[in-house]
């Protein structure tokens, strides 16, 4: 067991570390820090009280009780969302004064979050269109996903993102080499082609997943990097 006798309500992990939230919202982290320091026991982080925490390739993000997002860790792709590419070991607010109800940073180096209205905003690496803003431009601050779609859930994959609307339909965008967009194509990005396409030629808005398989349990589970989110209303899996 992790030493310290602490109990946690949530855990998040990255490649070389972990953080956990206690029932009171305190954050304890352990493992390799971006500064190079190693924490070999859970160490209290100087941070607000958090209600939600998520971890990605090398960074963490969390929400406080008011819905403000904070991120810390590696920031080479702008995945901390603070307008810089400076890494940090302590949480800093994400830029934009937005408030969110959910956040997912399980992607390679990108993060997405949902507002109370279900609007998705993403930031960080966008080389494969995984931010869903119709471009492949890296974003250092939260950027709206195109299409005006209201989402109930959002999940980041390694180089793609999927969301489920309030009506239960799945939308995906980003890398599609293994068919992870689920639109009946594979190769390229965002389901815009059936083979490799130059990124400069690709606009990557969300693509509606079609041809769902009938009557599977209403359960969506991300398969990790390179996996995808099954259609929630009627089931079905896709991607390699």
Report the pLDDT averaged over residues 57-83.
96
Q: How far apart are CA 217 and CA 100, in angstroms?
A: 28
- Give whole-number Cα distances, 77 to 56, 88, 219, in Å: 12, 13, 32
Alpha helices in 86-188 (DSSP H): none
pTM of the model: 0.81
Summary count for the chain: helices (H), strands (E) = 0, 16
pLDDT at 70 over 80: yes
Confidence of residue 120 (pLDDT cuts 50, 70, 90): very high
Alpha helices in 73-209 (DSSP H): none
pLDDT at 48 over 80: yes
Could you list the beta-strand ranges (E) of the chain: 10-14, 17-21, 27-32, 38-44, 50-55, 59-64, 69-73, 88-93, 102-104, 110-114, 120-124, 139-144, 151-156, 160-165, 170-174, 207-208
Query: Residue 185's pLDDT is what?
Result: 77
Beta-carbon count within 10 A of 194 CB: 12
Of 74-83, 95-104, 143-152, 208-217, least confident by mean pLDDT is: 208-217
- State the virtual CA torsion across 106, 124, 179, 182 in degrees, nearest 10: 80
pLDDT at 107 over 60: yes
Query: Residue 205's pLDDT is what?
Result: 58
Strands 102-104 and 110-114: antiparallel
Q: How far apart are CA 160 and CA 173, in angstroms?
A: 6
pLDDT at 4 over 70: yes
Q: How far apart are CA 208 and CA 80, in angstroms?
A: 28
Query: Residue 222's pLDDT is what?
Result: 37
Strands 139-144 and 120-124: antiparallel
In degrees and rounded to multiples of 5, residue 78 shows phi and psi of 80, 20
- The rounded mean pLDDT for the chain is 81
């Amino acid at each position: 067991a992790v030493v310290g006798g602490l109990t946690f309500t949530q855990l998040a992990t990255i490649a070389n570390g972990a953080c956990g939230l206690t029932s009171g919202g305190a954050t304890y982290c352990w493992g390799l820090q971006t500064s190079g320091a190693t924490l070999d026991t859970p160490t209290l982080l100087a941070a607000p009280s958090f209600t939600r925490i998520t971890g990605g390739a090398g960074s963490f993000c969390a929400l406080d009780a008011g819905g403000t997002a904070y991120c810390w860790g590696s920031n080479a792709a702008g995945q901390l969302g603070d307008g810089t590419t400076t890494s940090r070991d302590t949480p800093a607010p994400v830029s934009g004064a937005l408030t969110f109800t959910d956040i997912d940073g399980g992607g390679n180096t990108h993060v997405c979050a949902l507002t109370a209205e279900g609007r998705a905003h993403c930031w960080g690496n966008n080389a494969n269109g995984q931010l869903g803003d119709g471009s492949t431009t890296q974003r250092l601050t939260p950027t709206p996903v195109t299409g005006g779609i209201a989402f109930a859930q959002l999940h980041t994959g390694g180089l793609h993102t999927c969301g489920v609307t309030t009506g239960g339909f799945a939308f995906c965008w980003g890398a599609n080499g293994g068919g992870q967009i689920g639109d009946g194509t594979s190769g390229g990005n965002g389901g815009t082609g059936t083979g490799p396409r130059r990124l400069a030629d690709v606009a990557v808005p969300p693509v509606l997943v079609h041809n769902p398989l009938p009557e599977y349990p209403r359960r969506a589970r991300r398969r990790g990097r390179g996996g995808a989110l099954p259609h929630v209303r009627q089931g079905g899996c896709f991607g390699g």
